[in-house]
Structure 1
Amino acid sequence: MVQLTFSASEAERLAEQACRSAGANPATARSLATATVSAALHGRPEVGFPHLLQYLTGFRAGRLNGEAEPTLTHPLPAILHSDADGGTAQLGFDLAMPMLVASTRELGVSLFTQHNGFTTGELGYYVRRLAIEGLIALAVSNSPAVVAGTTGGKAVFGTNPMAFAAPLSDSHAPLVIDQASSATALVNLAEAADAGRRIPEGWALDAEGRPTTDATAALRGTLLAFGGTKGANVALMVECLAAGLSGASWSLDMADPQEGRRSVDAGMTIIAIQPRLIDEHFALRLSRQLDRLSAQGTYVPGRRPVHDNIREEEGVVIDTPVLEAIRRYLPGPE
């Protein structure tokens, strides 16, 4: 597949302009563009620019509020509750982050929970930003039901991802773990179907509830939780924290993020911890432990340098079909 490489600032301008043209206000466009480039550079590229298309179609269709003005309440000093106003999850978090960081540094532990938002995109983005601030962070979010609780069962959970991040001795290269509670992410099925590849057993069921290795059949069916009932239990815990605590819709009740005009109403909850209040050398100790694990052949995720400001030497690669689809949202020459 042909790909084009953009500087980080060019990629961010592209995303921001497309969002504005699709109906997003300046704050929403900037917030989403920043998250999109961050996913492409530091996180999971498949939920960067390819996923941006879902937001753009959502703005145009009206199921994603481009004029959202999230409201933030403080039920207790350590708790922040956000109503995303039918807009992006990223904007609600951006508005709350300064207070979340400040309260965590003061109190040791703080909680942010949000409802009435669109799907969260790359969940690792949120915890990665908090880890750069020196905080441990755990995030969970729910999404429309596409995961069966048992083999042969109906879809009852979303992919319900969870993400974790912790600061290390290199403050710009935190430990970041970001994974779904399903056996794989939905985007991986779509990629396999487009490429005509088979998928591993245990990933999905077809429309009749039978195990399948046909990616196209899996897209018409349901995903499976990782590890059977253990993964389903994790998906349920995520649902309790992301939707139950925030007041968002349960996955079974959520609107389709790709069809109609009804707001998705996804939930997200983030717990932030200040480790230095207990162990001043937490970051150094964890870094050394991860080095020990790596030396033993253990896979250690994350630890890629992340920069607060866009650096021109960082290139963003975009597949040509995705780029062409995004450019259709840009205003034409006058």
Structure 2
Amino acid sequence: MATLRVRHQDAHEFVVNLLKASGVSASHAAIVAQGLVEADLRGVDSHGINRIPSYLARIRAGVLDPKAEPTLTQVTPVVAQVNAHNGFGSPAAHLAMSTACTIASTFGIGLVSVKHSNHFGMSAWLVRQAVDRGMMSLVFTNSSPALPVWGGKSQLMGVSPIACGAPGGNDSRPFILDMAPSVAARGKIHKALRRGEKIPKGWALDAEGRETEDPAEALKGVMLPMGGPKGSALAVMMDVFSGVMSGSAFAGGVVGPYDLKGPGGVGHFIVAIKPDLFVSLEEFRERMGILYKKVVESDRAEGVERIYFPGEIEQLTEEERLKDGIPYVQDEVDALNAEADNLQVPRLKVLA
């Protein structure tokens, strides 16, 4: 399918205009746009600006408050909580990570929980926020039911990403892990549906419990956990730390970003850690450089041309898309421009 290229600056401006026209403050609109565009730049197209139509639908349905301001409560010197008040997840999570990093810069570690939130996009953009401040981090969230517990057949756990990161060495890339506990992120199913593509077998089951390559049928059924009971247990872990502990929805109670039945009730769990707590920063960076080199220079298995450090492929994709633009298919651009027409803001600029 032919693709259209868009400059990242134009994608960012487009999203900001849509959100501001929908009642979102300029500062919050910029944060939401940053996270979505960064996902597209990194090749995580399932969490990019094509999420905007679902976000706007939730605003129109009155189940997401575009004007909500997250509030911060200090619990202990090293622990805080953000209440998102059913606003966008991105500004609340951004505040949480900023707070965690500030606390960690003084005390070595900062832990911030977020409650009453919504979808915050790609977890890696929060990890990068910490990396850019020279911090290690953990980013957890729970999400709407999509995954059965091991041995079950109905949706109960979310396909909730597990993310963490650490600054790199002087001559190496940072470590950035962002993965779902399922074989594939559910957003990839929505992406395949948008683009009229099939999904690989082994990703999901339909409503009758059969393997399917049809994304529409997959969305009626369940995602499959990676590693069987291991992926299922990781999904439960996300619910414990993000939902149960924070006071947010849990045990199947989270409402997803494509659902209009009520507030999201999403919870997040964010930790920032100073990397020089046990060794000097210079030694930490030296050791990270050694780790990076050992990983990427490992003996390659047959048929493998290159070994990548976690997050490196996405960083290389970002470098390419910053130069050549972000690719979207025509149907995606048309759906975004329909939102622009409805809100009477400029359409998405496409490179000639």
**Does TM, scored on the shorter chain, surpass 0.5?**
yes
Report Cα offsets for 1:161-196 as digits up to 9, x if no partner: 111111002599421111111121112223445544
Report Cα offsets for 1:135-157 as digits up to 9, x if no partner: 11111111110101135521110
| 1:67 to 2:67 alignment | yes
Structure 2 residue aligned with 1:279 = 279
How many Å separate the matches in 2 of 1:127 and 1:247? 23
How many Å separate the matches in 2 of 1:312 and 1:229? 39
How many Å separate the matches in 2 of 1:99 and 1:255? 26
The aligned runs of 1:1-334 (5 Å cut-off) are 1-42=1-42, 44-151=44-151, 153-170=153-170, 173-193=173-193, 194-201=195-202, 203-260=203-260, 262-280=262-280, 281-296=283-298, 297=300, 298-303=307-312, 313=323, 315-330=325-340, 331-332=343-344
Alpha carbons 2:141, 2:267 under 8 Å: kept: yes
How many Å separate the matches in 2 of 1:198 and 1:24? 35
Amino acid at match of 2:63: R
Structure 1 residues 268 and 15: alpha-carbon distance in aligned structure 2, compared to 1, 3 A threshold: same
Amino acid at match of 1:319: V
How far residue 91 of structure 1 moved from its aligned partner, in angstroms, is 0.7
Higher mean alpha-carbon deviation, 74-83 vs 41-50, is at: 41-50
**Percentage identity across aligned positions?**
26
CA RMSD for the aligned pairs? 2.5
Alpha carbons 1:163, 1:176 under 8 Å: kept: yes
Alpha carbons 2:18, 2:345 under 8 Å: kept: no
With normalisation by structure 2, the TM-score equals: 0.85
Structure 1 residues 324 and 172: alpha-carbon distance in aligned structure 2, compared to 1, 3 A threshold: farther
Q: Secondary structure at the match of 1:253?
A: coil
Structure 1 residues 249 and 333: alpha-carbon distance in aligned structure 2, compared to 1, 3 A threshold: closer
How many Å separate the matches in 1 of 2:213 and 2:84? 38
How far residue 51 of structure 1 moved from its aligned partner, in angstroms, is 1.9
Report Cα offsets for 1:239-289 as digits up to 9, x if no partner: 100111211101411224323352111111011110113222212311221
Report Cα offsets for 1:195-237 as digits up to 9, x if no partner: 4425223x22221234445444322111121111111111111
Q: Secondary structure at the match of 2:126?
A: helix
Structure 2: gaps of 5 or more residues:
301-306, 347-352
Structure 1 residues 61 and 171: alpha-carbon distance in aligned structure 2, compared to 1, 3 A threshold: farther
Alpha carbons 1:113, 1:246 under 8 Å: kept: yes
With normalisation by structure 1, the TM-score equals: 0.90
Alpha carbons 1:16, 1:33 under 8 Å: kept: yes
Amino acid at match of 2:201: P
How many Å separate the matches in 1 of 2:65 and 2:171? 35
Higher mean alpha-carbon deviation, 6-15 vs 42-51, is at: 42-51
How many Å separate the matches in 1 of 2:308 and 2:113? 31
Q: How many residues align?
A: 329
